[in-house]
Amino acid sequence: DAKTTQPPSMDCAEGRAANLPCNHSTISGNEYVYWYRQIHSQGPQYIIHGLKNNETNEMASLIITEDRKSSTLILPHATLRDTAVYYCIVRSQTGANNLFFGTGTRLTVIP
Amino acid sequence: EPEVTQTPSHQVTQMGQEVILRCVPISNHLYFYWYRQILGQKVEFLVSFYNNEISEKSEIFDDQFSVERPDGSNFTLKIRSTKLEDSAMYFCASSGTADFYNEQFFGPGTRLTVL
């Protein structure tokens, strides 16, 4: 599975959009980009995933660059409850089904 | 909404004792996982389980660890002889079908403290 690089921490004002970047320059053609988050030692929570098209669901949007070497998770209107560690994970379509978590980005939403 | 449950929420044990951590995955899921997170560190994969057998395991999952699905609902992780370094949060997860991109649903975790 390709390695990912994320900034260790970010702040965002409540009500503003939070844009969390992830670099995955060694991603291969059959690897998906997944985002999970972990709120204060709770179990990780799935957010969204994509292959090459931008994706949106009720939680977030995922923007993947055309060369697929980086992506951005967007929380359109961050709330205090979005304070968490956000993990960008790249998974092979043919590899094992388990997730490999990095150190993620600690997002702090500020009132 | 269906969820993964885990018991107990906190387990305290003496070094060398056996512990069993219990999980009830989402009822129609087919894949089951255990992860652990030592305080302040990354979430680490331990083992995945499908069709009543281990499908993948990490180097952490040595002979001291075992998993079992004793009935149609529970999924357990056993540590035979606990060590101080086994102190961690243990998360169970399950995912739905054989489709690769099914997201994993995590339980709230069991905090294991080995004294």
CB B35 within 8 A of CB B48: no
> How far is A110 from A12, CA to CA, in rounded Å?
6
> How far is B107 from A15, CA to CA, in rounded Å?
29
The two three-digit tokens of residue A109, written as one number: 């939403």
CB A20 within 8 A of CB A72: yes
Q: What is the pLDDT of residues A10-67, one digit of tens each?
A: 999 999 999 999 999 999 888 899 999 999 879 999 999 999 989 999 999 999 999 9
CB spacing of A103 vs B35 below 8 angstroms:
no
Q: Using CB atoms, pick whichever of A34, A46, A97 lies closest to residue B31.
A: A97
CB B58 within 8 A of CB B36: no
Judge whether A101 is closer than 8 Å to chain B, CB to CB.
yes
Chain A CA closest to residue B46:
A98
User: Chain A neighbours among B 28-57 (CB < 8 Å)?
Assistant: 31, 33, 35, 37, 42-45, 48, 55-56
Chain B CA closest to residue A44:
B106
Q: What is the pLDDT of residues B20-71, one digit of tens each?
A: 999 999 988 989 999 999 999 999 999 999 889 999 999 999 999 999 998 8
